[in-house]
Structure 1
Amino acid sequence: MRTTAAAVAGTLAAIGGLHAVWAHSPWPCRDRAEFADLVVGTGPDALPSPAACLGVAGLLGTAAYLVAARGGTLPPTGPRWLRTAGTAGVAAVLLTRGLAAPLLLTDRTPRFTRLDRRLYAPLCTALGTGAAVVAARGR
Structure 2
Amino acid sequence: MTLIAALTFLILAVIAALHFAWAMGLTFPAADAAELSRMVTGFKRRDLMPGKPATLLVSVAALLAGFWALMLAEWAWLPVPNWFVGLGGIVLTAVFLARGIAGYTDRWRRLTPEQPFARLDRKYYSPLCLVLGLFFIILTLGYLL
Task: Give the TM-score, by structure 1 length.
Answer: 0.91
Correspondence for 1:112:
117
- Name the SS for the 1:28 alignment partner: coil
Give 4+ residue runs of structure 1 displaced > 4 Å after superposition: none
Correspondence for 2:40:
39
Q: After superposing the two structures, state which structure 1 stretch, 119-128 or 7-16, moved more.
A: 7-16
For 1:70-81, what aligned pairs fall within 5 Å after superposition? Answer: 70-81=72-83
Aligned partners of 2:78, 2:60: CA distance in 1, in Å? 18
Correspondence for 1:122:
127
Q: Which runs of 5+ in 2 are unaligned?
A: none
Percent identical among aligned pairs is 30
Checking the alignment, whether the CA contact within 8 Å between 2:33 and 2:47 is kept in structure 1 is: no
- Name the SS for the 1:105 alignment partner: helix
Alpha-carbon shift at residue 30 of structure 1 (Å) = 0.9
- Name the SS for the 2:50 alignment partner: coil
Aligned partners of 1:117, 1:91: CA distance in 2, in Å? 19
Alpha-carbon shift at residue 26 of structure 1 (Å) = 1.5
Checking the alignment, whether the CA contact within 8 Å between 2:16 and 2:63 is kept in structure 1 is: yes
Task: Map Cα deviations across residues 77-115 of structure 1 (whole Å, 9 max, x no partner).
Answer: 321111111111111100000012331322321321111
For 1:6-85, what aligned pairs fall within 5 Å after superposition? Answer: 6-23=6-23, 24-42=25-43, 43-85=45-87
Checking the alignment, whether the CA contact within 8 Å between 1:94 and 1:127 is kept in structure 2 is: yes
Counterpart AA for 2:10: G
- Name the SS for the 2:128 alignment partner: helix
Task: Give the TM-score, by structure 2 length.
Answer: 0.87
Alpha-carbon shift at residue 129 of structure 1 (Å) = 0.5
Q: Which runs of 5+ in 1 are unaligned?
A: none
Root-mean-square deviation (CA), in Å?
A: 1.6
Alpha-carbon shift at residue 138 of structure 1 (Å) = 2.4
